[in-house]
């Protein structure tokens, strides 16, 4: 069981006196906000004494992020779970059950004073952030050290280096880890993971390492497969698999259905028309999302994980056998790439994954997606022709875009119409009212010259 | 024949008065170079200007009346149209807005005196505007149409033969995209000639009852019938020749019986040309447009075509 406890940031210790004791049964005004408020973590249970939160280089953003390193259980990253800005929330930490564990914890440790305070009086945290420590493969932490050389020198051939050198490099980039590297188990852990993604050469009693993209891909593929095994997260599944494989219905057919239903039962009309607008919308959004998804995804996933995914009732995916699974796998892979790998490596990995060297063959998926893209284009073309309401919408956009020229155009048109009217004799006007039904055009009788 | 001689005499008078040598423009360049060296350079300049405004078309009508009536008859059918001028004369072909009626006019070069057109030119004219200008002309005025090369205006000069009044108007031209239809010579099943006033009267009378008239031509004669909300009516004409007044002759030539229905509003519109000619010719064949022809002096004509109504959708 993971236990909850408030853990102050390094400087928060001296602020312990600023915490807000609330006398039970008596209203006490809240004290002024602490400049560096404590944060709420969910940490693994069996952390060793040596566990530390350290700043390490984040492979994706090439900035430092906080990681929890425990020599016994490994590396953890923090996932922040926050309320969306539109609905601000706060934590109210109240006195919990007086479990023996709680009391024991309260008596020990340097930071225990605050913990004591909270458990006795309760505490209000302004930010409703919750930082959850989740295990992370240490190879992602090693990646900056392994690849930084090739990044700086570009085309130069990658050299084999000893594990020692890489760790030294890691320590120089993220000095926080240095004390931890003194611990043998951490070193072993890191080297083991390093070996998994590197070509190795034995030079005497030392093993030399050099990063191998192929091996990295294999590792990532394993992770992706594991991710897919129990099904993708619903939001990922919805956004990248269902929408991508959504077969566009040609609008003409949909309209026919609507008219049919209006003819037969008036009640059936409403749901049917709704479904048409829905499909139209999902089509339009899926286009824009698919294009921006790769870049926007990493941030979104870390912040709005709490977002409730409402899954609308949609028809099951229609795709050839295996294509959906391939797409899931690719989605998982690109998710990992976009979250944990630097843009440069993720590019190499993606191209490698699509190449023939990859263990998985993505060609059926590519073919199917190309086919879908074509269908969508066709659907879009028919819609822009057939759907008057959409047309109107485009017109409006146009108006916003160049309202002035449009107004001028309109004025000109009106003027022209007026002039035309003025040049029209009464007889011509009267002839317009004549019923010409049953009369053929002159061009039907006489051929054009 | 007496008519022709009188035209010649007027011709002679006109020529002496204007004294413009035909095609003088072609000789001017030489003149300019000569004159420009002389002290009278101002005169040379004037000459130069004249030579730039090269007159492509010059058509003189003895009586403005003709053009006035033609334009009046057409203007209620079409709004804008091209007057196509070439060396054989001035032609016009246009359809109404609904494209169910067509007007075809031909004013042959012989109708003018003189007539000169050096190159084919299309004069796009708004007929309402032309009517306004023509209203300024007296029926007996001598009318001269002039246009330059690549014209943007049509120049109209009205000369009063009685007084020495001369009025001149420029009418702005417009670009009109018009499709020309080729109209083949057709052998019609029935050809009816009658006084134009008679045809007009029938149309007006039946118009009071109905929107459309059916014209039946048989060996008994030609019968115009209509049926409307208030009742129905029929007018029958038989072949008839009047020795005293040949204008009132009704002549029916028939190869096979014909029965067709037409929109009266359009026919009434055609009848506005009644003033142009004493007699009108109706040509009918099943399933082809009716031809209403007003013959003009010379071999000029004004023809109207109207699509028949097929199927009883009233």
Contacts of B99 in chain A (CB under 8 A): 441-443
Q: How far is Cα B201 from Cα B158, in angstroms, rounded to an integer?
A: 33
Listed in sequence order, the residues at least 6 apart from A15 whose beta carbon sits closer than 8 Å to its beta carbon are A8, A34, A35, A36
Q: Does A30 touch chain B (CB under 8 A)?
A: no
Report phi then psi at A58, rounded to 5.
-90, 125
Domain boundaries, chain B: 57-172, 190-306
Decide if pLDDT at A183 tops 70.
yes
What CATH architecture does domain B57-172 belong to? Roll (3.10)
Q: How far is B308 from chain A (nearest CA, A)?
A: 6
Instruction: Give me the percent of chain B exceeding a pLDDT of 90.
Output: 63
| Cβ–Cβ below 8 Å for A423 and B289 | no
Compute the 3-state secondary structure of chain A and give helix, strand, coil in percent, each to the nearest 5: 55, 15, 30
Give the bridge partners for A178, in sequence order.
Answer: none
Q: B-chain residues within 8 Å CB-CB of A417? A: none
**pLDDT of A46:** 81
Contact B76, A428 (CB under 8 A): yes
Q: In angstroms, rounded to a whole number, what is the distance separating the alpha carbons of residues A221 and A60? A: 18
B128 to A435: CB separation less than 8 angstroms, yes or no: no
User: Is A421 at the interface with chain B, CB within 8 A?
Assistant: no
**pLDDT tens digits along B69-96:** 999 999 999 999 999 999 999 999 999 9
What is the rounded average pLDDT of the residues A337-347? 81
Rounded CA separation A252/B220 (Å):
59
Strand B221-227, strand B279-284: pairing: unpaired
Residues of chain B in Cβ contact (below 8 Å) with chain A: 75-80, 95-102, 126-129, 131, 179-184, 211, 263, 265-266, 269, 272, 288-289, 305, 307-311, 313
Sign of the torsion formed by the C-alpha atoms of A291, A295, A301 and A303: negative
3-state secondary structure of A126: coil
Residue pairs between chains A and B whose CB atoms are closer than 8 Å: 102
* A442 contacts B99? CB cut-off 8 A: yes
Mean pLDDT, rounded, for B220-232: 93
Q: What is the pLDDT of residues A225-266, one digit of tens each?
A: 888 888 888 888 888 888 877 776 654 444 444 444 444 444
Residues B129 and B123: their CA atoms lie apart, in Å, by: 13
Cα separation, B129 vs B147, in Å, equals: 17
Q: Give me the CATH topology for the region B190-306.
A: Proliferating Cell Nuclear Antigen (3.70.10)
Q: Give the residue from B77, B128, B173 with the most A CB atoms within 10 Å of its CB, the best one to mutate.
A: B128
Which of A436, A438, A445 minimises the CB distance to B288?
Answer: A445
3-state secondary structure of B296: coil
Confidence of residue B237 (pLDDT cuts 50, 70, 90): very high
Residue B22 has pLDDT above 50, yes or no: no
Q: Read off the tokens for B247.
A: 């204008």
C-beta of residue A342 within 8 angstroms of C-beta of residue A59: yes
**Nearest CA-CA partner of A212 in A146, A298, A156, A274:** A146
Give me the mean pLDDT over the B56-72 stretch: 92
What residue in B sits closest to A439 (Cα-Cα)? B309
Mean pLDDT of chain A: 69
């Amino acid at each position: 069981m993971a236990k909850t406890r408030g853990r102050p940031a390094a400087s928060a210790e001296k602020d312990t006196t600023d915490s807000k004791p609330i006398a039970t049964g008596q209203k006490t005004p809240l004290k002024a906000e602490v400049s560096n408020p404590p944060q709420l973590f969910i940490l693994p249970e069996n952390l060793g004494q040596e566990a530390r939160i350290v700043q390490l280089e984040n492979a994706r953003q090439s900035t430092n992020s906080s990681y929890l390193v425990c020599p016994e259980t490994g590396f953890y990253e923090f996932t922040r779970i926050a309320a969306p800005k539109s609905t601000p929330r706060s934590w109210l930490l109240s006195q919990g059950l007086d479990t023996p564990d709680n009391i024991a914890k309260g008596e020990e440790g340097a930071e225990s004073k605050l913990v004591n305070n909270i458990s006795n009086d309760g505490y209000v945290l302004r930010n409703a952030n919750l930082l959850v420590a989740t295990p992370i493969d240490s190879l992602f932490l090693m990646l900056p050290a392994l690849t930084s050389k090739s990044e700086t020198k570009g085309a130069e051939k990658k050299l084999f280096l000893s594990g020692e050198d890489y760790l030294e490099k890691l320590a120089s980039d993220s000095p926080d880890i240095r004390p931890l590297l003194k611990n043998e188990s951490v070193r072993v852990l890191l080297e083991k993971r390093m070996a998994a993604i590197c070509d190795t050469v034995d030079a005497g009693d030392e093993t030399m390492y050099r990063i191998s993209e192929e091996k990295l891909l294999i590792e990532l593929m394993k992770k992706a497969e594991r991710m897919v095994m129990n099904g993708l997260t619903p939001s990922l599944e919805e956004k990248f698999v269902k929408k991508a494989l959504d077969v566009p219905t040609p609008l003409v057919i949909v309209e026919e259905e609507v008219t049919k239903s209006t003819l037969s039962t008036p009640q059936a009309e409403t749901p049917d028309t709704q479904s048409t607008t829905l499909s139209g919308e999902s089509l339009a959004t899926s286009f824009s999302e698919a294009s921006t998804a790769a870049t926007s995804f990493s941030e979104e996933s870390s912040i709005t994980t709490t977002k409730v995914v409402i899954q609308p009732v949609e028809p099951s995916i229609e795709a050839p056998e295996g294509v959906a699974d391939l797409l899931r796998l690719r989605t998982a892979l690109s998710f990992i790439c976009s979250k944990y790998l630097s843009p440069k490596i993720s590019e190499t990995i993606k191209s490698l994954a699509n190449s023939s060297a990859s263990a998985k063959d993505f060609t059926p998926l590519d073919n199917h997606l190309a086919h879908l893209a074509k269908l969508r284009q066709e659907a879009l073309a028919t819609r822009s022709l057939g759907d008057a309401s959409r047309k109107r919408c485009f017109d409006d956009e146009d108006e916003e875009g160049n309202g002035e020229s449009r107004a001028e155009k309109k004025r000109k048109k009106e003027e022209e119409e007026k002039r035309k009217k003025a040049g029209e004799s009464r007889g011509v006007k009267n002839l317009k009212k004549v019923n010409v039904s049953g009369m053929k055009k002159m061009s039907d009788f006489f051929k054009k010259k | 024949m007496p008519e022709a001689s009188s035209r010649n005499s007027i011709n002679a008078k006109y020529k002496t008065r204007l004294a413009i040598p035909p095609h003088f423009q072609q000789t001017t360049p030489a003149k300019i170079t000569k004159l420009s060296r002389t002290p009278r350079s101002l005169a040379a300049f004037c000459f130069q200007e004249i030579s730039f405004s090269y007159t492509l078309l010059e058509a003189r009508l003895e009586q403005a009346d003709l053009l006035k009536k033609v334009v009046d008859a057409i203007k209620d059918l079409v709004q804008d149209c091209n007057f196509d001028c070439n060396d054989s004369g001035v032609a016009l072909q246009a359809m109404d807005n609904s494209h169910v009626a067509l007007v075809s006019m031909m004013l042959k070069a012989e109708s003018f005196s003189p007539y000169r057109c050096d190159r084919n030119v299309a004069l796009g004219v708004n007929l309402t505007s032309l009517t306004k200008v023509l209203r300024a002309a007296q029926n007996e005025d001598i009318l001269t149409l002039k246009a330059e090369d690549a014209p943007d205006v049509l120049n109209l000069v009205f000369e009063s033969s009685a007084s020495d009044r001369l009025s001149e108007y420029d009418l702005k031209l417009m670009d009109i995209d018009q499709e020309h239809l080729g109209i083949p010579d057709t052998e019609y099943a029935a050809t009816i000639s009658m006084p134009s006033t008679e045809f007009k009267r029938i149309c007006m009378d039946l118009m009071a009852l109905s929107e459309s008239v059916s014209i039946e031509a048989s060996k008994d004669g030609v019968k115009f019938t209509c049926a409307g909300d208030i009742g129905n009516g029929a007018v029958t004409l038989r072949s008839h020749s009047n020795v005293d007044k040949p204008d009132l002759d009704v002549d029916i030539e028939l190869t096979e019986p014909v029965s067709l229905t037409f929109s009266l509003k359009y026919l009434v519109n055609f009848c506005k040309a009644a003033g142009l000619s004493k007699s009108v010719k109706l040509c009918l064949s099943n399933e082809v447009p009716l031809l209403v022809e007003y013959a003009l002096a010379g071999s000029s004509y004004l023809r109207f075509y109207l699509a028949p109504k097929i199927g009883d959708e009233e």
